[in-house]
Amino acid sequence: MEDSSLNPLSDFKLSALSRRKFLMAGGSLLTTTAVADVGAALSRETATTPDTQFKSFETNICTLKLNPINGDLIAVRWKDPEVDIIREPLLGENFRIRLPRAQYEANYFFSRDQNVARIEESPRGVTCTYDSLRNDRETLPVRVIYRIRQAGEELEFSIEVDNRTNLPLAEVFFGIIGGQQGLLERRETESLVPGLNVNLAPDIFTNFKAGGYGGGNLGIRYDAAGFTYPGSMTMGWLEFYNRKAGLGLHYSNHDPEPRLTGLYFEVRPFVKTAVVGDNWAGSEDVPAGEPIGLTMGWLKFPYLKQGVFNSGPVSLQVHQGDWHEGSKLYRSWFDQHFSMRRSPSWLRKEMAWQSVIISNCEDVLVWKFKDLPKLAAGAKKYGVTTFEILGWDIGGIDRGYPQYHPDPRLGTPEEFRQALAEVKKLGVHPLIFCNIQFSDTAIELFREKLHRDAVHGRWAPDWPVFGWGEGTISGRMGLTRHNMTLVSPSHPGFRKLLLDQYVQLVKDGADGFQLDKTNAVGSLDFNPDVATSPDRSLPEGVLTTFKVALEKCRAVNPDFALASEIFWDRSFTMVDVSYVRMNEIDMGSPALRYTFPEWTSTICAERPGDFNVMNNGMRYGLVWAMQPRHYNDSMDEGLTRPLSRYVQELIRIRGKHRDTLFLGRFLDTIGAEVKAGKDVRYSVFEGLEKQGKACVVVNYGNEEATAEVSWPGGEDRRVEILQPHQPDQAASLPANLRLRPHTCVVVAEI
């Protein structure tokens, strides 16, 4: 029989403890109970006696219960609203710490295997101190202080690790809440892990999606999933909610430091595949006493030797309502540390762009610098006054980076400057496409210099490669593409190379940049020459580059503004518009837009028939990014002209209610009622600084549809009904609408 103690990732041996024995004292998890074998089951090496008592600690918001031998949190009962968060105490724990050795990477230390030196109670919580860490292999002089405390209406978890060894502190998994089985009723509990326009984990308690990360479920006996922030997660929080009970649980990362973090889940003992409905194992699927539940926690990667690492707090709060309320809790914390308050820049006020690629990486020259004013005039004809220029630099789009100089095949530097000046004379803003953390691996600059600043893997300087071919069939198939790799802007020399070129571009006439691919910050960087820790190299480097670029470029042009292909909330204090595309009818989750109404993103139309894509721009309050014929043509191109006219009408409509529909607060569907057919969707907006309310109704179907719009307290209220290519009309609520196929209607207060 395999000895699972040799593998710290193997499942904990908890099944030996009878659930009946644990619950024998009247069934209460919160009553101090004497149990003979609980300590042995919770910690493989820690002996307990028949007199072992679980310790209860009271705060104003909840009751905590800890194992006095190892300090593990095995019960949390919230008081108002009343709910048990941990429902399987055998899965309770505090932390896991990994300190790899040269011949043993998986050198984990679990809180359940420790002897807690002290548990100190205070009116607001407890502090557990561990003077050293031990596992089956060794004992190390690593001191851990683990705090669980009340902060207002939240329960906070923080950790301090004093690593007095030369082993790197590779992982700190803490704030662990184990043994969860949903809020009141598991099958009625929904979940939200916010990604870009998507819910990364919508059904954790009924359809847990395991193994979809890295090595998946290999190496473990249970099922697991994980997400990175920044990376796939746009914000550092999750929400569990039971709509029927009107109850939510908010769990968030309140660490203000710009470092890569993981959100990690485990479900024990397993989940089922190829099933209809619920995929969790039930009591009928396992032996009596086998613990069933979800474990979750936040994961840090400091790689610190001989030093003290502090992290947290991680926040837990039970509240009334669903994820919309959880969103407000997160935003309240965010505003205490990061300022979103600034007057909208010219870029944030621009409702539409046109983007054009003038040369690609297979040497196809589509346009030259002298053609740019005519293309910009084609955009201006339809009310579009921001013009993004791509493929203008040496090598063309996605080639030759970071050589951000005008490509001589397209014209001279003077012709480039003259073209930007003529575009600006038209009343159009030139927006220049660049990157931050990418380099073409084939160029001399990389071979001779920049390879030293490239992002390294854990085991070798094995560069990740990226590429997008355009001009040939094999290039588009990815077979002969030009490859790029990540270079960290935390290296001062590389950052200076970028910034000097950025400043020159502003002197040449750029009003702003669209810095592409900047969301590629979800990697650890083990380059030995980078001054930061591996988890900070890319996130911190990109944020610093944004900050310094704004300072230096605004010294040349005070109105300089940034757009960027980044969706990380920490960047929104500097980036006015995120470059995003969305080709689905519905956002998988509008949580990011709801949480940050000041921020917006693009929504891109590459094809002449993308009317519903543009309708979604109105529905979600996004920037219409016209990219005619896959970035190749003018907005006045023949096939694109009908869509351009439609966007012109959308601009007209939104312009009449800009402070509500574009600069206001997106409310999802809260605050209105729309009665309509299956192909109709709607959204609601209100003013941020000024009063106003509006409802956007979209018919995505191929047939005409009708809808009735009303909102609470709005009976007989006067509204304006605005439709593309139709006269605006005054009406009273409820408003009865007739919607043509693939079109939208706005109902706005007047």
Q: What pLDDT is recorded for position 212?
A: 75
Q: What pLDDT is recorded for position 712?
A: 93
The dihedral through the CA atoms of 122, 126, 132, 136 has a sign that is positive
Query: Looking at the predicted structure, is the pLDDT value of residue 38 above 60?
Result: no
Q: What pLDDT is recorded for position 32?
A: 27
User: Mean per-residue pLDDT for 681-692?
Assistant: 93
pLDDT 10s digits, 612-624:
999 999 999 999 9
User: Mean per-residue pLDDT for 150-177?
Assistant: 99
Q: What is the DSSP letter of 370?
A: G
Main-chain dihedrals φ then ψ at residue 284, nearest 5 degrees:
-75, -15
CA 735 to chain centre: 37
DSSP 652-698: HHHHHTHHHHTSSEE-TTTT-EEEE-TTEEEEEEE-SSS--EEEEEE
Sheet of strand 705-710, all strands in order from the earlier edge strand to the far edge: 673-676, 705-710, 735-739
> Beta-carbon neighbour count of residue 221 at 10 Å?
14
pLDDT 10s digits, 646-667:
999 999 999 999 999 999 999 9
Average pLDDT of the chain is: 93
Q: ∠ CA 664-666-672 to the nearest 5 degrees?
A: 110
Q: ∠ CA 661-334-543 to the nearest 5 degrees?
A: 90
Which residue's entry shows tokens 């009976």? 715
Q: How far apart are the first and last CA of the chain?
A: 76
User: Mean per-residue pLDDT for 177-190?
Assistant: 98
User: Mean per-residue pLDDT for 56-78?
Assistant: 97
The answer to whether the CB of 433 falls within 8 A of the CB of 517 is no
Which residue's entry shows tokens 């870029």? 347
Query: Looking at the predicted structure, is the pLDDT value of residue 743 above 80?
Result: yes
User: Mean per-residue pLDDT for 584-588?
Assistant: 95
Q: What pLDDT is recorded for position 203?
A: 96
Q: ∠ CA 464-467-472 to the nearest 5 degrees?
A: 150
Confidence band, pLDDT 50/70/90 cuts, at residue 53: low
Confidence band, pLDDT 50/70/90 cuts, at residue 5: very low
Q: What pLDDT is recorded for position 46?
A: 41
State which amino acid sits at residue 718.
R
Query: Looking at the predicted structure, is the pLDDT value of residue 687 above 50?
Result: yes
Q: What pLDDT is recorded for position 45?
A: 41
User: Mean per-residue pLDDT for 602-606?
Assistant: 98
User: Mean per-residue pLDDT for 173-189?
Assistant: 98
| The token pair that represents 107 in the structure block | 């050198």
Within the chain, how many helices (H) and strands (E) appear?
15, 40
Rounded Cα distance between 173 and 309, Å, is 13
Q: What pLDDT is recorded for position 28?
A: 30
User: Mean per-residue pLDDT for 393-422?
Assistant: 98
Query: Looking at the predicted structure, is the pLDDT value of residue 290 above 50?
Result: yes
Q: What pLDDT is recorded for position 214?
A: 67
The answer to whether the CB of 151 falls within 8 A of the CB of 313 is yes
| The token pair that represents 214 in the structure block | 């890295």
- Closest Cα partner for 241 from 284, 273, 201? 201
User: Mean per-residue pLDDT for 469-477?
Assistant: 94
Q: What pLDDT is recorded for position 24?
A: 29
User: Mean per-residue pLDDT for 464-472?
Assistant: 95
Q: What pLDDT is recorded for position 215?
A: 67
Rounded Cα distance between 632 and 635, Å, is 10
Q: What pLDDT is recorded for position 341?
A: 87
In the chain, what percentage of residues exceed pLDDT 90?
Answer: 90
Q: What pLDDT is recorded for position 33?
A: 28
Query: Which of 23-37, 278-292, 396-410 is least confident?
Result: 23-37
Domains and CATH numbers, the chain: 4-337 (2.70.98.10), 353-436+496-579 (3.20.20.80), 664-749 (2.60.40.1180)
pLDDT 10s digits, 433-451:
999 999 999 999 999 999 9
Query: Looking at the predicted structure, is the pLDDT value of residue 2 above 90?
Result: no
pLDDT 10s digits, 110-146:
999 999 999 999 989 999 999 999 999 999 999 999 9
> Beta-carbon neighbour count of residue 275 at 10 Å?
10
- Closest Cα partner for 388 from 184, 176, 604, 214? 604
The answer to whether the CB of 38 falls within 8 A of the CB of 86 is no
State which amino acid sits at residue 1.
M
In what helix (H) or strand (E) does residue 94 lie, and over which residues does it extend?
none
